[in-house]
Amino acid sequence: MRKKAKFQVGVRGAMLGTMGFSAVLTIYGLKAKFSFGSSVYEGKERLEGKTVIVTGANSGIGKSTATELLRRGGRLIMACRDVDKCEEARREIMEITSQNNVVCRKLDLASLDSVRQFADNINKTEDRVDILVNNAGVMGIKERIETEDGFEMHAAVNYFGPFLLTHLLLDKLKASAPSRIINVMSPTYKANHINFSDINFKDSYNASKAYGRSKAALASFNLKMAELLDNTGVTTYAPMPGVVDTNLKRHQITSPWKQFVSKFTSWLQKTPESGSQTVLFCALNPLISDQSGFPYRECQREDNEGSVNRQLPRERLYLTSLVWTGLKDADEAKREFDEMQEMAKS
């Protein structure tokens, strides 16, 4: 009887051990699947004498990108909404890299005034801008929030803010050529298009669509700028980091259950260091200087997809954005678009 009991205990233990081992393998398999691999950029380019701006540089992908760019000897400008958090991150980055050519500058992409003030400061105080990394973003804001400029928050931070910032720094980027504009993207752009009748989601708000459309707008902007800046020495790239464990999802974690799920899924996701690799690839790799305007994933170029490839909507969005950010007169923009439509018909 005792032998039988010992045998049953032994079998049960072996089964539990096998189940545990299988569970571990399953978890590792899930991690491999959901983190989409992990390419590493191995280029050794140095940045002495060059100036880099990274928005949202106090945490996540932005902080990891900023750390590596500073490590390579460049002058780093951390553009952040919260200056106190920026200063804390700056001290950490200096300690990690043993480099001190780094400053914090206040930038709230939800405010066009803040964008203008930041750009004005850069244009007056900096000799050059070699790399602009438009990294900062928001996602999953449950209720519609409108900024002081009348923009829906996803649209403001993820698109209109970077749009205006890039334009205000263009002269400095051109003077520093060869230079690069990096627009951090998401694959969600592929399944979204701009609804010109309700760009600001005033009629019907959906957080997922608001985020996806803001990234579709950014992808369109990335391609349009590549066209406009052809032969200027300024090139544009749209890296897609993948599923990364950052505080970008902070607006979505609103209950204990979501907090629990987030802790589990965060282990399955890429680290910010891993997520920053394609951003670094786009910012540094000399071999892609003739491949402007494309999205990149896992350090490889992809083709633009979805509504981004439709020229008239791309032109309409660009002209609309110039007007809404105060860079162009509305009547002039309308005349230009009407002419484009007539040319398309002929």
Any idea which residues carry the catalytic annotation? 211
C-alpha to C-alpha distance for 295 and 279, rounded to whole angstroms:
11
- Show the DSSP H helices in 77-179 as ranges: 83-97, 112-125, 153-155, 161-168, 170-175
φ and ψ at residue 152, rounded to 5 degrees: -65, 145
Token code pair at residue 174: 């051109």
Strands 300-301 and 294-297: what pairing?
antiparallel
C-alpha to C-alpha distance for 316 and 328, rounded to whole angstroms:
13
Q: Which helix (H) or strand (E) holds 294?
A: strand 294-297
C-alpha to C-alpha distance for 137 and 215, rounded to whole angstroms:
10
Sign of CA dihedral 293, 194, 185, 191: negative
CB 102 within 8 A of CB 78: yes
Give me the helix-helix angle, 60-71 and 277-284, nearest 10°: 50
3-state secondary structure 8-39: HHHHHHHHHHHHHHHHHHHHHHHHHHHCCCCC
CB 101 within 8 A of CB 117: no
Token code pair at residue 295: 């999205």
Sign of CA dihedral 107, 248, 244, 137: negative
Distance of CA 30 to the CA centre of its chain: 24
Q: Taking Cα atoms as reference points, which of 73, 121, 133 lies closest to residue 97?
A: 73
Q: Which helix (H) or strand (E) holds 240?
A: strand 234-240
